[in-house]
Structure 1
Amino acid sequence: MDELTRDEPNLQIFPIIGMGGIGKTTLARSTFVNPYVVHFFEKRIWLRISQEYSIREILVGLLNDGKDQESNETLAELGERLYKSLCHQRYLIVMDDVWSTRASDDLKLFFPNNRNGSQVILTTRLSSVAVSLGSHNPYLVNFLDDAKSWNLLCQKVFAQEVCPHPELEEIENVNSLANLGSDDYCLKILSLSYNNLPIHLKPCFLYFGVFLEDHDIFVSELMKLWVVEGFIKPTTNKSLEEVAEDYLNDLIGRNLILVQTRRLNGKANICTIHGLLRDLCLREFEKEHFIHVPKVQYTSFSKVADDRCLGCCHATTLQVRNLTKVLSHVVSQSAALASLPVYCAYRNMTANLVRIRSAPVKYSDKEFLHPTRLRCLCVLSFTDLKFVSPSMIHVLWNLQILDLDAVGREIVLPYEIWEMPQLRNIRVYSAPLPDPRVSQDCTILENLQKLSFIKNLQFSEEILERIPNLKKLRICYVGDMEWSYYGFHMLACFLQLKSLYIYNVNFSLENITFPVSLKKLTLSSCKIPWEDMTILCSLLPNLEELELYENAFKGNEWNQVEGEFPRLKILLIFESDLLSWRLENIHFPILETLVLRRMHLLEEIPSGIGDIPTLQLIELRDCRDSVVNSAKRILEEQQSLGNESLQLDVL
């Protein structure tokens, strides 16, 4: 009400956004009928906009205080009459439940800007509509936390903030209560959001139903699964992973998916789905026959007494028809992973697994089924993982994600992974890549986008030729080999590489070249002299994120020079022996986020940081008091200059 009635003469559009059913209309209505607002505005009109709206019906409604009446006038005549009726009055118009920018665009011409404080409120589930139409910052209707929800309930029921009858505190599941009744009122409201989705987003949204209720969903894992399920439509200029990110942002913008945490670059890191929306997904599962969800959603593979068996699965999981992911917890050390079967502990039910598209593979004196439809294979083992050569892993010709973790034990990959052209993501914890020259197959892994936690990767022409489109690379080095042995001068040949992580190699920057495409660089335990930072900058003109962990650079002093990192937006330094740091605002001209963690020796943050006009956040974790105090001085100085955008986060 304060925003609506303050001394702002120009016509403004106030968007109220949030999930369907969260209370946007209730908030707008309570404001609309408030006596002060009623007194302030000479004319008030409430109009509900449907998904399939008629501009004629809207204009007639606006002219008749929201009532539907017959009219023979043309659209132009109706619009002109509305404009004139509003022209000399201070008016408030509420457009409730707007689903597209088109509805408001069609009407804005008829809303005169009288410069007398007239206002328009619109409620919408779509953030894109709010941003496109709103001339005022959107008001986001958020969820109440548990404490506020409980207090509200007690106030409404008992007229006090505590429950006088403790035996009443144990209540049923809220979702089940919300859906009681013959018409399932809540789900009907939410179904409008689902029905409004474009066809390519519907399977992506429904896929959230396979996750457990209240489950935190890592965005990187979700998008990988979308890709392997075939939900993502390829485009010319973007990878499937980039398109998947666009899809997720669209669902977030429609307030169907909730963001729990974000990365330093602002991208969603962990998301979740509201319980009622998950119920909607499950209901649509049944209607569309989209995915068969077994009662046991988690298939556990573990070592059994018979060492000839790689694992066992519960009989209830035999109903799964399109197996796309197998999670193995413990694998026998002597087992050939190439023969990994979907094996049922109930021998007489093994035949039922024929429903999985499979090929027979001999293992010991038994014949098991080999799931060739697998697209994602994740193995977590507490013993060594050594593939037997020659391996049959390439029989998994649909495999797109290979994720192996032996929890500190040895992993040996077979050379046959060079014969799997569908692979998009290989993540193996501290295992070397096999030499591609051993393979007789000359397949190029054109789809491979990510290669993570590879040990002692040696760059060679053969490696570069086989994975030309790599975009994300994470390498860890162990042993005493000279850094020159690994061929870092070949790095620039990865023309598509955007993100690079290097751990534990003491190299010289003078003989290294980086691809100009690189946007993010993470270095850990590399012990590069701080004075070589200038060299690094000259090699990375397009770098946007720089993360330095555990003495990535060594020395006590960092004196920056003009021109360093002209495009850097995020700088993170974690655990360094740095004492003194000197810079001016020209060194990081567009820096947005500075994060310092466990900087126990650093004396203070350079005051010039505060003069960077784009800086939005300084985050400090486990730093000296003098560092915290210097950050507070920077914040106070900026606030005194009218800069309210800078935030300080200290823990």
Structure 2
Amino acid sequence: MEVVETCGKGTLSAGEPSTKRSITSIYDDDEVVGFEKDAEIIMKKLIRGTKERDLISIFGMPGLGKTTLTRKVYNNPYIVDHFDVKAWCAVSQAYNRRTLLVEIFKQTTNNEIKIKEDDDVADMLRRVLIGKRYLIVLDDIWDVKAWEDLGICFPQGEYGSRVMVTTRIEQVAKDLQHHSFPYSLSFLTSEESWELLEKKVFRGESCPRDLLEAGLQVALHCKGLPLVVVLIAGMIAKMDRESSLWLEVANDLSSIGLGEQSMKVIQSSYDHLEDHLKPCLLYMGLFPEDHKIPVDDLLKLWMAEEFVLNAEKENMEEASRVCLSNLLNRSLVMVSGMRINRDVEYCSLHDVVREFCLRKLTEDKYMQLAMPYNPFQQLHSTESRLCIYIHDDLVKQLDHSDYQLDKIPTLDFKETNSLEFIAHPKLNTWNNRYSNPLDLVVKLRFVRALHLMDVLLPNSWATAIQSLTQLRYLAIYVRDFELKWISHLHNLQTLQVQSSKILHLKAATLWEMTKLRHVNINCLSVVWKDNYEGTLLENRPTATNIKPLQ
């Protein structure tokens, strides 16, 4: 256990340093197989050619490796040295212009300049980029409008600046053409497919001779799609090393058409998962497209939703880390950010894997999405768990007089009293001009996980949350906070509080919440009213971090 207080009061007490298992995967290889010729061509487009700002577009079908190629070029030391500033953002189908501009601005300024709510970020970004040779990557653009929204913020000039765009739509790439022609990404050759498969399965070792022929057949029938190769590698790496089993996989692949191959392979990988891993993966599909999911939060959410069983592990935290490692090693989940120690900090889903998860959720009625209200929608599911994804569009529509929470079929309490609801965390920032999110949340009586860190809650928050007795995960941003206001939440496992005030808390109340496992209080200062002994916070199985606001 490690207990730290850094609110200007000094260290209260400290236990042994954490010995938690690192989360790694076969995705954390520095070397990328294939794309050598492609990378060389793209690098020439970036460095040579016109001095004017140019747009380099790469297009190809999902799973072909557009983002992987772009990342390979983006991180090349020669490219890093060539440009004054760089920034990368994922655009996707649904995007928020200001959010993207803020992300680009932070990267181009190394997050040194703070942004206020009423700042004109577009103008600030233009000023930062003027006179510099910049490289901006806009990953996964779906239409020209996205470029029109963002491109106006990237100044012209004869400095050799470049914008790289990836898209799965050829016409979009053509419409975006400036000086350079769009680049069509090719499929992997059979040799490259085998090299990638061998590397992912055997982790740098050579394939045994008795598996070589079967392995080559598997690689051949992946039809040159890198995504299919790594998914198949993740699956057969868990199988017995018998050529007959691998040949069965190859035969199955040979019968699948190119268009449906990715989905079929994901289905096969999903079918081979242990039962407890399936809801963990499907849950991740509810995060927005290209969302970088913080691993620490994800593991706590899995525990709150009771997806993770403490089977033959020291604790739930260890069990949840093992679950994520298993999904990473099957290549169903990707690493999208790592710490210096090579531990995974952020993870994400490939677009195609996320699409599969959303289909699966609907088909199996394992969970049901409550998207923007549709008056013609019918409630078909009688399952015991529904997943409510609270997002901007839903909040805006609920704010309208015609849309009332209890009119959404999935929330018809008269018919579904036994349902347990999940309010999915965070993801989209609630705009303060819309209705108070608490008006929506309090109706979800069985909510387990609630993340409201993106909006300052009114002082009535404590009263509103009184009825949410099933909460296991609570993250809030408030002015005032007292532990007694949430002490009745006997199932609470994770508590995160952000406040700009000095908080006066009673440690004894904290210890009375017997299921509490993780506490993070981020505030100006904390005063423990009844903490007279330096050892009071010790000898409790809780990782408690009390931090000052950054």
* Shorter-normalised TM range: 0.3 to 0.5
- Considering fraction of residues, name the structure with more strand: 1
Whichever of the two has the greater Rg, that structure is 1
TM-score (norm 2): 0.45
Structure number with the bigger relative contact order (C-alpha 8 A, sep ≥ 6) is 2
- TM value normalised by structure 1: 0.39
